[in-house]
Chain A
Amino acid sequence: MRTSPKTVYLRLNPAVSTESLAESALFSGWQLKAYSSRKERREFYDTFEWQAFENEVAIVKKRRTLFLVDLKSGQETATLPFPAAPSSFYADALPTGILKAALSTLTDIRAFIRLCAIDTVITTYRILDDNEKSIAFLTSESLCLADREKQEPFVHLFSLSPLRGYDDEMDQMVTSLTNDDKIAKTLDFRELFLLIMKEAGVSVHGYSSKINLDLDPDAPVHESARQLLQFTFSVMRANEEGIKRNLDTEFLHDYRVAIRRTRSILKQLRSVFEPEETAYYLNLFKEIGTRTNELRDRDVSLLRQGSYFHNLPPCLQPSLKLFFSEIAVSRKKLHKQFCRYLASDACKSFLDEWEAFVHRQSAPDPEQCPNASLSTASVAVESIKKAWKRVIRHGRQVSEETTDSELHALRIDCKKLRYLLEFFSSIFPHKSVAPVLRQLKELQDNLGDFVDYSVQLHFLHERLTTLPLGKEANLLAASMGGLMAILFQKQEEARGTFHKTFEAFDHEKTAQLFHDLLTSKLK
Chain B
Amino acid sequence: MKTIALYSIKGGVGKTAAAVNLSYLSSLLSQPTLICDLDPQGASSYYFRITASKKYNSDKFLKGNKKIYHNIKATDFENLDLLPSDFSYRNLDIELSEEKKPQKKLRKNLEELSEDYQYLFFDCPPNLTLLSESVFAASDLILVPLIPTTLSIRTYIQLKDFFEANKLDGSKIRPFFSMVEKQKKLHRDIILEFGNGPEFITQSIPYNSEVEKMGLYRAPLNAVLPNAPASKAYRNLWEELRSHLEKSG
Chain A residues within 8 Å of B, Cβ to Cβ? 1-3, 129, 131-134, 163-166, 168
Contacts and interface: CB of A to CB of B under 8 A. Distances in A.
Contacts of B71: 165
A165 B74 contact: yes
A32 to B, nearest CB: 15
Given A166-B73, A168-B53, A2 B48 contact: no
Given A1-B77, A2-B78, A165 B72 contact: yes
A133 B46 CA distance: 10
B73 A1 contact: no
Interface SS majority for chain B: loop
B73 A163 contact: yes
A361 B81 CA distance: 72
Contact of A164 (B48, B74, B77): B74
Interface in B70-87: 71-79, 81
A164 B76 contact: no
Contacts of A132: 49, 218
B150 interface: no
B22 interface: no
Contact of B81 (A2, A129, A133, A134): A2
Interface centre among A131, A132, A133, A165, by most chain B C-beta atoms within 10 angstroms, is A165
Contacts of B91: none
A71 to B, nearest CB: 27
Contacts of B50: 131, 133, 165
Given A1-B78, A2-B78, A164-B81, A131 B51 contact: yes
Interface centre among B48, B49, B78, by most chain A C-beta atoms within 10 angstroms, is B49
A164 B49 contact: no
What's the interface size class on B, roughly?
Answer: 10 to 19
Nearest to A163: B74
A332 to B, nearest CB: 48
B78 A134 contact: no
Contact of A1 (B49, B72, B75): B75
B218 to A, nearest CB: 8
B53 A164 contact: no
Nearest to A134: B76
Contacts of B73: 163-166
Interface centre among A1, A129, A163, by most chain B C-beta atoms within 10 angstroms, is A1
A138 to B, nearest CB: 15
B49 A2 contact: no
B74 A2 contact: yes
A164 B50 CA distance: 12
8 contacts: A2-B74, A2-B79, A129-B49, A132-B218, A133-B49, A164-B72, A164-B73, A168-B53
A166 B51 CA distance: 11
Contacts of A3: 74
Nearest to B46: A131
A182 B53 CA distance: 29
A389 to B, nearest CB: 67
Interface centre among A1, A2, A3, A163, by most chain B C-beta atoms within 10 angstroms, is A2
A161 to B, nearest CB: 11
Interface string B42-71: 000000111101000000000000000001
A1 B74 contact: yes
A134 B73 CA distance: 11
Nearest to A131: B49
A231 B51 CA distance: 65
Q: Closest 5 CB pairs between A and B?
A: A165-B73, A133-B49, A163-B74, A164-B74, A131-B49
Nearest to B76: A134
Contacts of B74: 1-3, 134, 163-166
A474 B72 CA distance: 70
A3 B50 CA distance: 15
A378 B106 CA distance: 80
B48 A133 contact: yes
Contacts of B79: 2
A299 B71 CA distance: 58
B72 A133 contact: no
Given A131-B50, A133-B76, A134-B74, 19 more contacts: A1-B74, A1-B77, A2-B74, A2-B78, A129-B49, A131-B49, A133-B49, A133-B50, A163-B73, A163-B74, A164-B72, A164-B74, A164-B81, A165-B50, A165-B71, A165-B74, A166-B73, A166-B74, A168-B53
A302 B95 CA distance: 72
Contacts of B51: 131
Nearest to B77: A1
Nearest to B72: A165
Nearest to A126: B76
B234 to A, nearest CB: 21
Contacts of B72: 164-165
Interface string B76-108: 111101000000000000000000000000000
A363 B32 CA distance: 76
Contacts of B78: 1-2
Contacts of A133: 48-50, 76
Contacts of A134: 74, 76
Nearest to A129: B49
Interface string B152-179: 0000000000000000000000000000
B53 A1 contact: no
Interface in B184-205: none
Contacts of A1: 74-78
B114 to A, nearest CB: 17
B40 to A, nearest CB: 19
Contacts of A164: 72-74, 81
Nearest to B53: A168
A134 B75 CA distance: 8
A129 B49 CA distance: 9
A3 B76 CA distance: 11
A2 B51 CA distance: 17
Contacts of A2: 74, 78-79, 81
A2 B49 CA distance: 16
A32 B78 CA distance: 19
A165 B78 CA distance: 14
A133 B218 CA distance: 10
A520 B9 CA distance: 90
A163 B50 CA distance: 12
A158 B71 CA distance: 27
A166 B81 CA distance: 12
Contacts of B77: 1
A168 B51 CA distance: 13
A132 B76 CA distance: 10
A439 B72 CA distance: 59
Contacts of B48: 133
Interface centre among B50, B51, B77, by most chain A C-beta atoms within 10 angstroms, is B50
